[in-house]
Amino acid sequence: MSDLVRFGVSLERDLLAAFDELSQERGFTNRSEALRHALRRELAEKITSAPDAPVAGVLTLVYDHHENDLPGRLTALQHEAHGMVIASLHVHMDEHHCLETLALRGPCAEVTRLADRLRSSRGVLQSSCSLTAIEAAPEHHFTHVREARP
């Protein structure tokens, strides 16, 4: 870290004890690391409230795959938004239920709209979405490269 600044913080004894306990449970080596982490999280939350803010996130869906072609509908929605869906993982939980996680990236409002469309699809039983602010990065364009054959 460059340009470190020291400052004092006044907290109620019970709040500090709870913070220290949480910091230890989460594996922070000291209060400063834990406080930096908490501040970054709070600042990222503020940034993600702006519709055009670049975000990355994870959407988790649990659903019954026998529900009225739900897997096909979810896949179609993901293909429509292929620029925002950067990865997915599909897990068979039991004979009926699947867990699907999607890594998403894009402007906050668009990512949120996509997550809402997916999680409100009929047959989705549970969902959670976690977004975090990211620095804007240039678009990545991938080209398929074929191996040269002798």
The pLDDT, as a whole number, for residue 66 is 85
Count CB-CB contacts under 10 A for residue 55. 24
More confident residue, 103 or 48: 103
Residue holding tokens 């907290």?
Answer: 11
Mean of pLDDT values over 28-38: 91
The structural domains of the chain, with segments of one domain joined by +, span: 13-47, 54-133
Q: Which residue, among 57, 32, 33, 58, has the nearest Cα to 44 in the 3D structure?
A: 57
pLDDT single digits (tens) 103-132 = 999 999 999 999 999 999 999 999 999 998
Where residue 41 falls among pLDDT bands split at 50, 70, 90? confident
Cβ atoms 132, 48 nearer than 8 A: yes
The pLDDT, as a whole number, for residue 83 is 92
The domain at 54-133 falls in which architecture? 2-Layer Sandwich (3.30)
The pLDDT, as a whole number, for residue 3 is 85
* Residue 120: burial class (beta carbons within 10 Å; 0-12, 13-18, 19+): exposed
Separation CA 68–CA 121 (nearest Å): 11
The pLDDT, as a whole number, for residue 137 is 52
User: Hey, what amino acid is at 75?
Assistant: T
pLDDT single digits (tens) 60-92 = 999 998 888 899 999 999 999 989 999 999 999
Question: Which residues fall within 8 angstroms of residue 65, CB to CB, at 6 or more apart?
Answer: 71, 96, 97, 98
